[in-house]
Amino acid sequence: MRNALFSRRDMVWAGGALAVGAALAKPFDAAATEPGGAGPEPTSWVDSAMPEVTHRMIETNGLRLHVAEQGTGPLVILCHGFPECWYSWRHQLPALAKAGFRAVAPDLRGYGRSDRPEEVEKYTILHDIGDIVGLVDALGAKQAVIAGHDIGAPIAWQAALLRPDRFRAVIALSAPFRPRAFGGSVPPTTLMPRDENAVFYQLFLQGPEAEAALGRDLRRTFRAQFYALSGDRPPSAGGGFPAGMMPRKGALLSEPASLPVWVTESDVDVYVEAFTRSGLRGPLSWWRNIDRSWDLLAAFGGAAVTVPALYTAGDRDFVAAVFQQDIARQSSFVPKLRPTIMLRGCGHWTQQERAAEVSAAMIDFLRQL
């Protein structure tokens, strides 16, 4: 039965995603240079590389979030995925601002300059939604449109479902709507296979060894994942991982000879700095709370997203491949869903790989609200 076990397609998808956890090298420091040099963390600043973007630390839901902001007008909140940060929306910030919107991209809790609670249990989807609701308040707005990519997409979907009074529309990239954010009628991790020799990659990400594996060489990790999960990889490339299972002794994934044209070494520098600063404990805690987040959303199983919605994904995105049945039926849970936009030749990094197309689709949707 489809709900009782992972299909072979699921395993192939997950095998691609193992690129994230398979790039290994040397340890990294726990702190990075402050934006203004030595001294206390500033509350606001401008980066000379993107002078139109204002950076601020904002109090919300009992912690501080770092946000990047550009433009004036109706508010649009942009939630990044794993393992990313606000910078994944670097192309949409100016595009939305030019179109007359106020675009705000936070580092989610645990990421970049945002606060990093120590307790693992404080990284459920409801904590993230609470942060974004509080962010809307802190920004002085009554409502916002919420957008999300990768794990940011289920955050956006469920925020719109739970608080349609605060989020007047939702835009999701890569991950389609799934009931209770993670789908299924049993705890998600109970469906994930493991044996004495190998473990399903999401279970690997929940374990303590994931932090060391991903963090030994952050530059190699990001260069490898940006290539391996993109639409630029050869169709035959699979990283050598069988059926989505990660060998318990680990495996190496070679770095690409060159990066795809849509990402530069300077872009990689930003991600390396962000994760050198934050570490990986907070970001990985999302995966350690999959079952708990699913459990916390029990009361909302079967509930519909009642606000207008847009869904966009790449036709070479592993998430779109594994969740193709959810994509086909999500309109039954999202009655105001606009026609799905599938981007030919695009992989997982939707808004970075197809920046102009994604920005145009978002702006067209926003203008119709």
Alpha-carbon distance of 126 to 22, in angstroms, equals: 29
C-alpha torsion sign, points 104, 108, 110, 112: negative
Assess contact for 88 and 81: CB atoms under 8 A. yes
The catalytic residue positions are: 150, 348
Burial label for 296, CB within 10 Å (0-12, 13-18, 19+), is middle
Alpha-carbon distance of 172 to 358, in angstroms, equals: 11
Nearest to 362 by CA among 1, 115, 158, 71: 71
Strands 102-106 and 75-79, how do they pair?
Answer: parallel
Please give the C-alpha separations between residue 228 and each of 12, 18, 43, 148, 186, in angstroms, as whole numbers: 13, 9, 37, 21, 31
Sheet order of strands, 309-314 included? 44-46, 54-60, 63-70, 102-106, 75-79, 144-149, 167-173, 309-314, 341-343
Phi, psi of 255 (to 5 degrees): -70, 150
Alpha-carbon distance of 165 to 113, in angstroms, equals: 29
CA 175 to chain centre: 9
C-beta neighbour count of 364 within 10 angstroms = 13
